[in-house]
Amino acid sequence: MSRDNPLWGAPRIHGELLKLGIKVSQATVSKYMVRHLKPPSQSCRTYLTNHAKDIVFVDFFTVPIATSRVLFVFLVLSNQRRRIGHFNVTDSPTSCWIGQQIVEAFPWDTAPKHLIRDPDGKYGEDFVRRVKSLGIKQVLISTRSPWQNPYVERAIGSIRRECLDYVC
């Protein structure tokens, strides 16, 4: 019965056997079920290793300056070598400005296949249109989940500790 119905689990087969008048425990049914071998899927870490050259991470961080203004730093980090590929600073990021930064970060035919970013409101329709025109697929992380974008968060932390704590 488990061979003919691969989607049925032990509880379903146990119920069908009881309807036929065969009294057997569910543990016995699961013990004698045919195991369908599936090819193992790669883990998230393996995926990132295999496709490292095709993935970039982008994020913003803020820098307060002495005149009580806040500057926004846009950062593009390559996954292959975990190096900063592009950065720029502005005091008011717009969707058009961010889209232009993506175009400048990937001149000619150097655009990656995947771009990982957070679902911030700063990335508007202009940005999405520019990314799509470059042939890049966006992968959005969950809101307020920096652990889903760890490499760029680590780079931002290093920039803050090693540079900005002494300059600003």
Taking only the tens place, the pLDDT of each residue in 112-132 is 999 999 999 999 999 999 999
pLDDT of the residue at 47: 79
Per-domain residue ranges of the chain = 1-38, 45-167
0.75 exceeded by the pTM?
A: no
In this prediction, residue 41 carries a pLDDT of 78
Please state, rounded to an integer, the average pLDDT across all residues of the chain.
91
Task: Pick left, alpha or beta for residue 36 (phi over 0 → left; psi -120 to 50 → alpha; otherwise beta).
Answer: beta
Judge whether residue 155 has pLDDT over 80: yes
Give the model's confidence band at 157: pLDDT under 50 very low, under 70 low, under 90 confident, else very high. Answer: very high
pLDDT tens for each residue of 25-84: 999 999 999 887 777 778 877 877 888 899 999 999 999 988 889 999 999 999 888 899
Phi, psi (rounded to 5 degrees) for 112: -75, 175
Long-range contacts of 126-134 (CB under 8 A, 24+ apart): 126/94, 126/95, 126/96, 126/98, 126/99, 127/95, 127/96, 127/98, 127/99, 127/102, 129/99, 130/99, 130/100, 130/102, 130/103, 131/99, 131/102, 134/102, 134/103, 134/106
CATH architecture of 45-167: 2-Layer Sandwich (3.30)
What is the identity of the amino acid at 60?
A: F
Q: Give me Rg for the CA atoms of the chain.
A: 25
Quick one: pLDDT at residue 108? 87
Are 92 and 119 in contact by the 8 Å Cβ rule? The answer is: no
Q: pLDDT > 90: what percent of the chain?
A: 67
Band of the pLDDT at 168, cuts 50, 70, 90? low
Residue 134's pLDDT is: 94
How many CA atoms within 13 Å lie on the side-chain side of 60?
22
